[in-house]
């Protein structure tokens, strides 16, 4: 799903470009220490110095050496919360640095990330997140919250998908098996190799799932149903009380990641919505809401949607659903080659829509008319 945060966009799929998978503040970092946080004692002093160096080290390769070697071997983009918390914000406050309960030789570091207005000095939090410092080969290194927060969770594998969920939850095996089968069928439909292993973390609430990832606070609004995916680590994080095992949008991001490399972001989300649904609903269930919106907005155009998508309301996301319909329209008229041409048209909306029109043999105005007619027919 799409979420605007102080002018930035948090996408549902994360494809990390660097080892740390995020933009650390480095030279502009303002690292403060909250009330009651001891950084003078031992080993607190060493742990804090490690954390400060990680946040301010400009070299990706040197920064990587400060992280657990075991986790780096497991995940190429090892800092799992980096795409969410390192977005150019420079005000970091350590609010807690203390031994982790129940984990020997482990310290918990909780950090607030925020922006501070220059004139009003208002503080606007982006995230509160946790990482750990652990002893590894005789030295302190950093480590993710996810394996520690989920250490008591259940694991059940169906084909290439491993579901990880709280120990109090009873897995619906038939639904989980159907979701694993979806992964295979989607790859087959696009002529792709059999997908590799995927780890699917889920709870009844997206906020709780992200907390297991290490995000104790992250702006989600009223959205408790949804998901995120990390293509680089082949993980999905889902929250849904009604369909926890069946949220397929994020799985589509992983299976089709190469198909959408270089695509317009909203078009990629449309592809995932067409193939995997969105907001806990499948594609067909989303169409009535889109039809009502199109009927109520006669001036709506595809270019307008791509340039300024309407805000999501409930399960209706005109950007996602509208682009899903466009993908289906092009596929029906031009097959998989046409769909791939659309996805490879680049990020400029005009070029994307010109490609769609060309593949369907219509003008740009005709494309809008065809799209509206298909939407209203639903």
| Burial of 27 from C-beta contacts in 10 A (0-12 / 13-18 / 19+) | exposed
| Burial of 85 from C-beta contacts in 10 A (0-12 / 13-18 / 19+) | buried
> What is the per-residue pLDDT for 8?
36
Q: What is the 3-state secondary structure (H, E, C) of 202-271?
A: EECCHHHHHHHHCEEECCCCCCCCEEEEECCCCEEEEECCCCHHHCCHHHHHHHCCCCCCCCCHHHHHHH
> What is the per-residue pLDDT for 95?
97
**Residue range 150-258 in CATH 3.30.420.40:** no
Say how many C-beta atoms besides its own lie within 10 A of residue 121's C-beta: 7
| Burial of 100 from C-beta contacts in 10 A (0-12 / 13-18 / 19+) | middle
Spatial separation of the C-alpha atoms in residues 202 and 166, rounded to whole Å: 8
> What is the per-residue pLDDT for 280?
86
Predicted confidence pLDDT, tens digits, the chain (378 residues): 443 333 333 445 554 434 445 667 666 888 999 998 999 999 999 999 999 999 999 898 999 999 999 999 999 899 999 999 998 888 999 999 999 999 999 999 999 999 887 788 788 899 999 999 999 999 999 999 999 999 999 999 999 999 999 999 999 999 999 999 999 999 999 999 999 999 999 999 999 999 999 999 999 876 668 999 999 999 999 999 999 999 999 999 999 999 999 999 999 999 999 999 998 899 999 999 999 999 999 999 999 999 999 999 988 999 999 999 999 999 999 999 999 999 999 999 999 999 999 999 999 999 999 999 999 996
CA dist list (Å): 178 to 173, 175, 184, 194:
9, 5, 10, 16
Task: For residue 5, give the nearest of 98, 83, 93, 106 by alpha carbon.
Answer: 83
CATH architecture of 3-144: Roll (3.10)
Q: For the chain, give every domain's residue range.
A: 3-144, 150-258, 261-378
Q: Residue for token digits 């080290």?
A: 57
């Amino acid at each position: 799903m799409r979420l605007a945060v102080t002018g930035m966009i948090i996408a549902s799929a994360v494809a990390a470009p660097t080892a740390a998978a995020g933009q650390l503040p480095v030279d502009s970092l303002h690292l403060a220490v909250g009330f009651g946080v001891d950084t003078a004692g031992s080993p607190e002093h060493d742990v804090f110095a490690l954390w400060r160096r990680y946040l301010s080290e400009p070299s990706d390769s040197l920064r990587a050496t400060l992280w657990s070697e075991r986790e780096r071997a497991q995940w190429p983009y090892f800092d799992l919360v980096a795409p969410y918390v390192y977005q150019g914000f420079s005000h970091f406050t350590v609010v807690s640095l203390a031994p982790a309960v129940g984990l020997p030789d482990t310290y918990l570091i909780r950090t607030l990330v925020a922006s501070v207005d220059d004139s009003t000095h208002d503080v606007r939090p982006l995230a509160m997140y946790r990482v750990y410092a652990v002893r590894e080969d005789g030295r302190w290194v950093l480590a993710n919250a996810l394996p520690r927060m989920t250490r008591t969770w259940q694991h059940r594998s169906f084909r290439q998908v491993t579901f990880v969920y709280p120990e109090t939850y009873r897995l619906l095996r038939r639904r989980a098996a159907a979701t694993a089968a979806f992964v295979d069928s989607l790859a087959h439909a696009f002529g792709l190799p059999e997908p590799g292993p995927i780890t699917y973390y889920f709870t009844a609430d997206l906020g709780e799932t992200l907390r297991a990832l290490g995000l104790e606070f992250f702006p989600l609004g009223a959205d408790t149903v949804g998901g995120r995916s990390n293509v680089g680590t082949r993980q999905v994080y889902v929250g849904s009380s009604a369909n926890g095992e069946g949220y397929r949008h994020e799985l589509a991001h992983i299976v089709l990641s190469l198909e959408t490399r270089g695509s317009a972001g909203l078009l990629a989300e449309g592809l995932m919505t067409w193939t995997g649904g969105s907001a806990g609903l499948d594609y067909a269930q989303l169409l009535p809401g889109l039809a009502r919106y199109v009927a109520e907005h006669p001036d709506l155009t595809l270019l307008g949607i791509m340039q300024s998508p309407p805000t999501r309301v409930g399960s209706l996301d005109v950007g996602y659903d509208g682009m899903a319909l466009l993908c289906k329209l092009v596929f029906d008229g031009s097959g998989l080659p046409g769909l791939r041409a659309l996805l490879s048209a680049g990020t400029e909306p005009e070029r994307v829509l010109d490609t769609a029109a060309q593949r369907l043999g219509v003008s740009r105005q005709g494309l809008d008319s065809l799209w509206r007619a298909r939407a209203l027919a639903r």
